Structure 1
Amino acid sequence: MQSFVKEIDFSKSEILSLIELSITFKTLKKNKISHKYLEGNNIALIFEKASTRTRAAFTVAAQDLGMAATYLGASEIQLGKKESVVDTAKVLGSMFDGIEYRGFSQEDVETLAQHAGVPVWNGLTDTWHPTQMIADFMTLKERFGYLEGLTIAYLGDGRNNVANSLLVTGAMLGLHVKIIAPKDLQPDSEIVAIAQQLSHGNTLTITEDVTAVEGADALYTDVWVSMGEDVDFKERIDQLLPYQINQALLAKTNKSETIVLHCLPAFHDKNTLIGQEIYETYGLEAMEITDDVFQEQADVIFQEAENRLHSIKAILYMTMTGNDHLPKA
């Protein structure tokens, strides 16, 4: 059994195995073939941050694999408040066969993994988003048929968990990765150093120049302000508006087949309370991606979202059994 709290917990071959296993699970799901390989197990889902895709994916994945999943919201347990993370890890580890954690602190998820005695999975922290990466690179593999040698460019807040994970995972898997962001929103030097150590011949580019999207097979963006981040919203908008994925920027790739990825939720229209508030306050109908680009790329973006289910299923199976292949029928 093995935890998955950051991408570098696994080797390149193990990450590739997770991607292939995800594709296998997707086929089983599409063909309605039962795959209750983990029947009888129970997992805990700790959520300090709200979630749609991560919560739904872990819940359905557990059910499809024959497991029961118990949701533990921030207001429902004492993690870090009246009970230490270590004590919580020992208690939950004695009752559950695995623990998912989605919250703020990378240190907390690593402490859980150290003391729980069962696999722990990082559903997102402020530093890393490893479960998202398996879905993302699974989507790229489905779309292009290969990964090594592809060029992917991330635009926006280059210091957030998605940018960190994309840079490191892309480096590990042999992609050319570009992080395009204002200087003070570029990845920390230690994250860049990890990525550089993992890359072998593939280029890693950190720049504030949006023309660097030229030649990109895929563009990637995320929300401009992460959950729980305390920033001057107007200042952040002014910083990142030049990095918005719109038709003009997409044209700078000089490739008609470039795809766009987004881990969602996306502020691409006014059809949410926050979207309406942004429009009324700042006059913007969209933020990190315009609605016309979002709609053009909707097939791949929602394919990426669905793949959270299949990839999390692969992560659960591989970490709980130690196997990267399914039992023979």
Structure 2
Amino acid sequence: MKHFLSLLDIDREIFFRILETAKKFKNDPWEVPQVLTKKTFGLLFEKPSTRTRISFEVGVVQLGGYPVVLNSNELQLSRGESLRDSAHVFSRFLDGLLIRTFAHQNLEQLAKYSSIPIINGLSDLYHPCQALADFLTIAEQNLDFEKTHLVFLGDGNNNVTHSLILASGLAKTKITVLCPKEMSPAKKVLGQARSLQTDIQIIHDIKSLEAKLALQEADILYTDVWVSMGQEKEKENKINLLKPYQVNNQILNQCKASVKIMHCLPAHIGEEITEEVLYSNSSIVFDQAENRLHAQKALLAEIYKH
């Protein structure tokens, strides 16, 4: 694996190896291989970031490297320098680059012309580092992936949902996406899911018998913000369509007592999730947030181990 743009860049064996390594790293964050010693790692942000920035910056340091945080507005990229030229320049100065961007095509262009590893810190299509952390979090609940039912409520056509679908395929986990028809997962991603033989169902009617059965079976209830960065013009319409899919006590009461609540954060309380559910005993969202650090360190260790 040279680049990590989506979960399609790894196979099932590597997926599980990263999770096992992450578990070991979490037990002792500083007893980790110094695979980034004498290496400088760039962190390029076109979007604001809390968890991605902190977890990668800390992780690079703990692996022995030196992180360089780059704001796209301060680079010549913001004045029209091409991605191709930028990729060549980054490759001369850095030993690797994480990018948090809008268009997934930007990542693909940088990867095409870079001689250094390119890692997707979030794009409009995928959020693969989040999915690694999510499945590490699920594993910590002593759940057998192949017997686990993950139910996502909200916008099915977003980067987190897409990466959860692909991760579920690698893990052989059943995933149900409860979403408005207008926000179904991208056909491209569903095609990729079929290639992984993902056990997936898409349900649009939240009041249907199928939805009720999915909620009753759910081991994990997962939600995400309804309006992502760059979608502000669609906010009113999206909120109106998504109101029935809010994770609240009414939804939680349809689930078994052992169900766990996940959210990749930041949360917009009162929109996709209520305060009482987010901070309930069922919630594991802050374990999930912490696990970004451990999963990403394991990913970097996998990339730089040779």
Residue segments in structure 1 that go unaligned for 5+ positions in a row: 269-285, 323-329
Task: From 193, 196, 199, give the equivalent of 2:194.
Answer: 196
Q: Which ranges in structure 2 are unaligned for 5 or more consecutive residues?
A: 207-211
Q: Does 1:207 align with 2:203?
A: yes
Asked if the contact 2:260–2:282 (Cα under 8 Å) also holds between the matched residues in 1, the reply is no
- Shift in Å at residue 74 of structure 1? 1.9
Residues 152-180 of structure 1 show CA distances to partners (whole Å, capped at 9, x for unaligned) of 01111110000111111112210000111
**Letter aligned with residue 239 of structure 2:** I
Shift of 1:119: 0.7
TM-score using structure 2 length: 0.94
Any residues of structure 2 matched to 1:147-162 within 5 Å, and which? 147-162=145-160
Match of 2:121 in 1: 123
Q: State the secondary structure of the residue aligned to 1:257.
A: coil
Q: Using the alignment, how far apart are the partners of 2:249 and 2:55 within structure 1?
A: 32
TM-aligned CA deviation for residue 146 of structure 1: 2.7
What is the correspondence of 1:1-329 to structure 2 with a 5 Å cutoff? Answer: 2-29=2-29, 32-33=30-31, 35-79=33-77, 81-199=79-197, 203-210=199-206, 211=212, 212-253=214-255, 255-268=256-269, 286-297=270-281, 300-322=284-306
User: RMSD of aligned C-alpha atoms?
Assistant: 1.5
Structure 1 residues 295-304 or 155-164, which shifts more? 295-304
CA shift, 1:12, in A, is 1.0
Q: Which amino acid aligns with 1:264?
A: L
Shift of 1:297: 4.5
Contact 1:2–1:320, Cα closer than 8 Å, also in 2: no
- The size of the alignment, in residue pairs, is 300
Secondary structure of the equivalent of 1:108? Answer: helix
Q: Secondary structure at the match of 1:40?
A: coil
Q: How many angstroms does 1:228 deviate by?
A: 0.7
The normalised TM-score by structure 1 is: 0.88
Which one-letter code corresponds to 2:40 in the other structure?
Answer: N
% identical equivalent positions? 35
Report the 3-state secondary structure (helix = DSSP H, G, I; strand = E; otherwise coil) of the residue aligned with 1:224: coil
SS of the aligned residue for 1:193 comes to: helix
User: Partners of 1:53 and 1:180 in 2: how far apart?
Assistant: 26
Q: Which whole-Å CA distance do the structure 2 matches of 1:14 and 1:294 have between them?
A: 32
8 Å Cα contact 1:172/1:195 also seen in 2: no
